[in-house]
């Protein structure tokens, strides 16, 4: 066969040798395949949205006082939301003993750039210390305004004043949360300790901080509000 090819004056080519027409065709197919894979990967990367980033700005009730890290409210809420199919990342910015004014003072570094939403849970320590309700209201209002300026969604978790502080204090403190929520059109979870307050089985020995089981109750009750918050974030993003 090679003698025939030589006599015909045609170059001696064979499959698999560099420069062969068939090999060049094969290499072209491989190149196109890799290009297709690259385009598909890029398209998939562009289509995938980042998780919704939520910060829980609060005190010991959300920081997880007396609990393992994985049993704190932010961690359990994140798991509950993911179990329902939500792609979220929740940061615990709770500080035990913090007040509304304290939360305002640390707002910028506690709620970093890129945050989509905040669950605001502050004011319990204000009430326990008998702080002036107007001071608490003013600090919470300032936090909310600054978050709104940054286009960060807010779920406001409310608190009720201890009844032993007297009727006047209760009347001044309790309306803070529903009134701020109405004024700023926020999602309101009326009382952070709803369903566990006064229940010894769901609170630690101090009668104030929830046990891991108590946190489960809060998460289950708060979950619909958290999902509403996520829906608002997505709507604001246009997704």
- 102 and 36 part of one domain: no
What's the pLDDT at 157?
A: 98
Give the model confidence (pLDDT) of 6-49 as tens digits. Answer: 444 444 443 344 455 544 544 455 445 455 545 444 444 445 78
Phi first, then psi: give them for residue 190, nearest 5 degrees: -55, -40
Which candidate in 60, 98, 110, 174 is catalytic? Answer: 60
Q: What is the mean pLDDT of the chain?
A: 87
Is 122 found in the same domain as 196? yes
8 is a catalytic site residue: no
Nearest residue to 111 (alpha-carbon basis) of 92, 139, 96:
92
For the chain, count helices (H), then strands (E). Answer: 11, 5
Q: Are residues 27 and 72 in the same domain?
A: no
Do residues 87 and 181 share a domain?
Answer: yes
| 127 alpha-carbon distance from chain centroid | 27
Number of domains comprising the chain: 2
Q: Are residues 41 and 125 in the same domain?
A: no
Same domain, 58 and 10: no
Q: Are residues 100 and 188 in the same domain?
A: yes
Q: Reply yes or no on whether 116 is catalytic.
A: no
Among residues 124, 131, 127, which one has the least CA distance to residue 157?
124
Options 3, 113, 168, 206, the catalytic residue = 206
| Residue listed under structure tokens 């491989």 | 30
Q: Which domain holds residue 22?
A: 2-47
Query: CB neighbours of 232 closer than 8 A, spacing ≥ 6?
Result: 117, 153, 187
Q: What is the pLDDT of residues 56-108, one digit of tens each?
A: 999 999 999 999 999 999 999 999 999 999 999 999 999 999 999 999 999 99
């Amino acid at each position: 066969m090679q003698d025939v090819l030589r006599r015909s004056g045609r170059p001696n080519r064979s499959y698999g040798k560099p420069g062969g027409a068939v090999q060049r065709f094969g290499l072209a197919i491989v190149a196109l395949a890799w290009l297709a894979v690259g385009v598909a990967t890029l398209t998939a990367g562009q289509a995938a949205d980042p998780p919704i980033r939520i910060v829980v700005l609060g005190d010991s009730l959300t920081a997880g006082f007396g609990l393992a890290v994985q049993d704190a409210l932010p961690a359990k809420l994140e798991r509950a939301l993911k179990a329902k199919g939500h792609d979220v990342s929740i940061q615990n910015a709770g500080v035990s003993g913090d007040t509304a004014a304290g939360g305002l003072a640390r707002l910028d570094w506690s709620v970093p750039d890129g945050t989509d939403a905040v669950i605001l849970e502050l004011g319990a320590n204000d009430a326990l210390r008998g702080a002036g309700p107007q001071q608490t209201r003013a600090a919470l209002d300032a936090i909310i305004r600054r978050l709104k300026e940054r286009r960060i969604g807010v779920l406001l978790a409310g608190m009720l004043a201890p009844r032993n502080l007297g009727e006047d204090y209760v009347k001044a403190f309790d309306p803070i949360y529903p009134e701020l929520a109405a004024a700023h059109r926020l999602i309101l979870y009326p009382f952070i300790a709803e369903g566990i307050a006064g229940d010894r089985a769901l609170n630690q020995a101090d009668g104030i901080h929830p046990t891991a089981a108590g946190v489960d109750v809060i998460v289950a009750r708060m979950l619909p509000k958290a999902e509403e918050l996520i829906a608002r974030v997505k709507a604001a993003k246009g997704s």
